[in-house]
Amino acid sequence: MADRIDRADRTLMTAQDDTTAAERDSQGRHDAIREHEVERTFDQVVQNGRPRLYRTPTELVASGTIAGVEIALGVLAFLAVEQATGSKLLAGIAFSVGFIALLLGNSELFTEGFLVPVAVVAAKEATWSRLGRFWVLTLVGNLVGGWVTMWAVVNAFPALRSTAVKDGATYATSSLHLSTFLLAVIAGVVMTLLTRMRNGTDDDVAKVVASVAVAFLVAGLSMYHSVLDSLFIFGGIHAGGSYGYGNWIVFFAWSVGGNIVGGLGITTALRLLRSGERLQEWRAAPGPHHDG
């Protein structure tokens, strides 16, 4: 009788061990010690980002163009405050108008399209070609919307022309040195961090605070942001600055390279590594929108 009970206990313990083993992840961690908050955030990133990659080309260009308009309004606020106070730090806080408009308007800024869309593709919920289309059309929309709006700003507020020319020259005539490239790298890191912070909370107030903080860092400290600073250059050109589109092309290539290194090569890569286990689970069971 005792032998039968002992065998039964061993059988039950073996079954429990098998069940526990089945619930462990690839690193041997069972459910109780997995970081569910990190995994829930990653799930939210993929779920929220997936529809963005399945927009039509027209929708992508429209969303990017609206974002260019909104960022240009932030530049307007920056120029007005800088001219009134002489402080770029205060102007950087004023620029947060643009980031808040992006947040509440659900429009697309190119440098905010690193973490979320890449996570969707890494999870096999969309293809790399969709990601490339998303980036190109969003960027085109950002630049077109920003160019047109900065033309309107300079002509509607002629008193800001001298400030627009001066700020545009900061970027259009800058040297291609390690320091300026690192300013672009840091800007890419900070912008992608903003995306992560926005996806890490459902509190709109917290999202607004994050937007103000990042605006202060990127605009107030004159980091090299490919889209934002292109709008400063466009404003200076419209206002009669001595630099031109050739200067802008050089600046844009330099800054977008740094933004990609910081946003993709550092922040996004580390975030994907941080959520590596959950990413592998997504890859093993692609969702209904997976298209090869």
Q: Indicate which CATH number applies to the domain containing 85.
A: 1.20.1080.10
* pLDDT, position 16: 46
Tell me, yes or no, whether 29 lies in a domain: no
CA distance 86 to 90: 9
Tell me, yes or no, whether 289 lies in a domain: no
The answer, yes or no, to whether residue 251 has pLDDT greater than 80, is yes
Tell me, yes or no, whether 81 lies in a domain: yes
* pLDDT, position 240: 96
Domain of residue 104, residue span? 35-284
Tell me, yes or no, whether 23 lies in a domain: no
Q: pTM of the prediction?
A: 0.85
Tell me, yes or no, whether 188 lies in a domain: yes
Tell me, yes or no, whether 230 lies in a domain: yes
| Confidence class for position 36, pLDDT limits 50, 70, 90 | low
The answer, yes or no, to whether residue 67 has pLDDT greater than 90, is yes
* pLDDT, position 29: 55
Tell me, yes or no, whether 291 lies in a domain: no
Tell me, yes or no, whether 30 lies in a domain: no
The answer, yes or no, to whether residue 292 has pLDDT greater than 50, is no
The answer, yes or no, to whether residue 24 has pLDDT greater than 50, is yes
Cβ atoms of 90 and 81 within 8 Å: the answer is yes
**What is the tally of structural domains in the chain?**
1
The answer, yes or no, to whether residue 18 has pLDDT greater than 50, is no
Percent of the chain residues topping a pLDDT of 90: 63
